[in-house]
Structure 1
């Protein structure tokens, strides 16, 4: 199922002009507040009619302003999960999710209710009212309700923004499980780079109503030119890593496209493939293989690209085998080490710098 979007809409003080494509899996729409993320999501869902444009889903035209076509939201078969669960307070969980099933077309493909309940872990909540649910539980119920509509596309608009850290950690594994089922493509709207790193396959970067970049999440996030858009403290890469060995005292060895990493806090079994978010500020660069360091994560690398910002920092794109890693160093270090594209070097990563929340399934 593919989604093609090319729309424009003018508000009093803001203009949205956005074109992108999304395929199976999770496509993240990222941008700062006011960049147009929710406006874009509402236009796709049919909750806002843009001034002009064309939207196609799986070959079906949802919007074509030139042809005068604009399907109402109820006919688009797009499920929407908002920042707040928006559950019916007078209904229990069972009746809330049953409400979604009322809108499923007869014979539409998709998992049955029991499978969705099991996947989202809400079986024990069926008789509770929304007031007796935690924030994470409400969001899981809202996702179940949306899935029982048998949608062709699921839009999740900042679904974790209202949750605190522990509640986010609670619900993220369920979202990973939903992604991995491949049941329905997902447009995931967020300003959280940590959520994107754990969940997304593709990313669309918005800024002031324009698409600044789109593509595979590993390629886009490892591009040093993205640092000013993402922010120096949030910029980083996503490494795909397979657990190959677990040592005593909680240390595990993971195989990446550029060599092995040893990290603590890995609870996945041997053979499991994980996503590891590595912040650019936690990567050191050395011209020679360091000796006498406490860090054991030393990977041979080649400098692919260099991006100089306006401040004292410089972003480097490092190629480590078949993978890419982003590093941020000072301009002084760049000059003193005479770093340049094509130069061989070593990337050094401190094991404890990778937070548990940055390790996803």
Structure 2
């Protein structure tokens, strides 16, 4: 478990940015610090890494105290055994890829366990790059090497500060699968700072939602995504993150059937095998609501649902979020206030939720858009 409670003010007058971040994250697993630019995500990460000494706070990793300002404890960065990957790869330009990796390995404690250099190279697909210098690598390749260097230091926790922010969409789509592979194979706990929702969808187990220096909510990512009271739901790409199982493929129709508790969705044909566990984001703006079962629609996903509540969309007084129960699974639908009132979408009302299959994008698809 990673326990964080830090407070810091960057200016001593009332206009200065103040950080008051408190959360606990399970380890192993990937915890995403998510929120708009300037909300305090990177500052929180810097405090955990020991790169910033906060005014007050306590940070504990798996029972070991890294920081306790009340007791005067503040371990220096090198004693915390944390790996850090920044937006820019920060590779040593005078060293080859192999030399950068060896630098990371030399920083590992003698008794530390973890993946070998061969395993890390294979995991990140960088074997063909070992003799190159950083200047000869693409942005995505540099980030994969930076990941490898951090891993070979055998960290107790890997801190990643928006590692894909400087990459274009194609390079992000290239690196995301390696990050997912890293999560599953290396078993190193990861704290991942991002403002990109597709990265949260692809990687995170736990979500810490931040705004203006404070933690608004923290918990399992699918639970946080389904809460209409949080600003996350009001985003244009907001909606529920649905854990699914690949139930069937129909190559003739070009469709894949994804089963979830309470129902199933049909999406454009996917490459995962039957039985694979995947997550799909069902955006609230892609869900329509009908009080009668519609016919002759292009949409194939017509789900029996019950309205459980309606909530305001912050800053948008003419829109509403309708919370729908499809069996035990929650969906969100974004509608106008006029539709909410005209259709009588009150708690307990039986309705039909309509979801276009083409609108359902898995993280690997969305990242390339």
TM value normalised by structure 2: 0.93
Report the equivalent of 1:319. Answer: 325
C-alpha distance in 1 between matches for 2:236 and 2:286: 10
Q: 1:99-248, aligned counterparts within 5 Å?
A: 99-181=103-185, 183-226=187-230, 228-229=231-232, 231-248=234-251
C-alpha distance in 1 between matches for 2:249 and 2:3: 44
1:84 aligns with 2:56: no
C-alpha distance in 2 between matches for 1:109 and 1:317: 46
C-alpha distance in 1 between matches for 2:190 and 2:240: 22
SS of equivalent residue, structure 2 residue 3:
strand
C-alpha distance in 2 between matches for 1:291 and 1:25: 44
The CA deviation string for residues 123-148 of structure 1, in whole angstroms up to 9 with x for no partner, is 11111111111111111111111111
The alpha carbon displacement at 1:324 in A equals 2.0
C-alpha distance in 2 between matches for 1:285 and 1:343: 11
Range with bigger deviation, 137-146 or 298-307: 298-307
Report the equivalent of 2:255. Answer: 251
SS of equivalent residue, structure 1 residue 50:
coil
The CA deviation string for residues 236-284 of structure 1, in whole angstroms up to 9 with x for no partner, is 2111111121112532111112311111141112221111112111111
The alpha carbon displacement at 1:341 in A equals 2.4
The alpha carbon displacement at 1:288 in A equals 2.4
SS of equivalent residue, structure 1 residue 118:
helix
Instruction: Provide closer, same or farther for how the CA distance between residues 229 and 272 of structure 1 changes in structure 2, counting only shifts above 3 A.
Output: closer
The alpha carbon displacement at 1:27 in A equals 0.7
Contact 2:140–2:174 (Cα < 8 Å) also in 1: yes
Contact 1:258–1:299 (Cα < 8 Å) also in 2: no
Q: 1:43-82, aligned counterparts within 5 Å?
A: 43-82=47-86
Range with bigger deviation, 290-299 or 350-359: 350-359
SS of equivalent residue, structure 2 residue 229:
helix
SS of equivalent residue, structure 2 residue 87:
coil
C-alpha distance in 2 between matches for 1:98 and 1:323: 48
Gap runs ≥5 in structure 1: none
Range with bigger deviation, 14-23 or 246-255: 246-255
Range with bigger deviation, 11-20 or 262-271: 262-271
SS of equivalent residue, structure 2 residue 208:
strand
Report the equivalent of 1:4. Answer: 3
SS of equivalent residue, structure 1 residue 293:
coil
Report the equivalent of 1:97. Answer: 101
The alpha carbon displacement at 1:316 in A equals 2.0
SS of equivalent residue, structure 1 residue 225:
coil
Gap runs ≥5 in structure 2: none
SS of equivalent residue, structure 2 residue 91:
coil
Report the equivalent of 1:338. Answer: 344
The size of the alignment, in residue pairs, is 358
The alpha carbon displacement at 1:351 in A equals 0.9
Range with bigger deviation, 131-140 or 339-348: 339-348
C-alpha distance in 1 between matches for 2:143 and 2:328: 37
Instruction: Provide closer, same or farther for how the CA distance between residues 99 and 208 of structure 1 changes in structure 2, counting only shifts above 3 A.
Output: same
1:348 aligns with 2:348: no
The alpha carbon displacement at 1:319 in A equals 2.2
TM value normalised by structure 1: 0.95
User: What CA RMSD, in Å, does the superposition of the two structures yield over aligned residues?
Assistant: 1.5
Find the partner of 2:275 among 266, 271, 285.
Answer: 271
C-alpha distance in 2 between matches for 1:116 and 1:358: 22
C-alpha distance in 2 between matches for 1:302 and 1:75: 54
1:18 aligns with 2:24: no
Range with bigger deviation, 62-71 or 100-109: 100-109
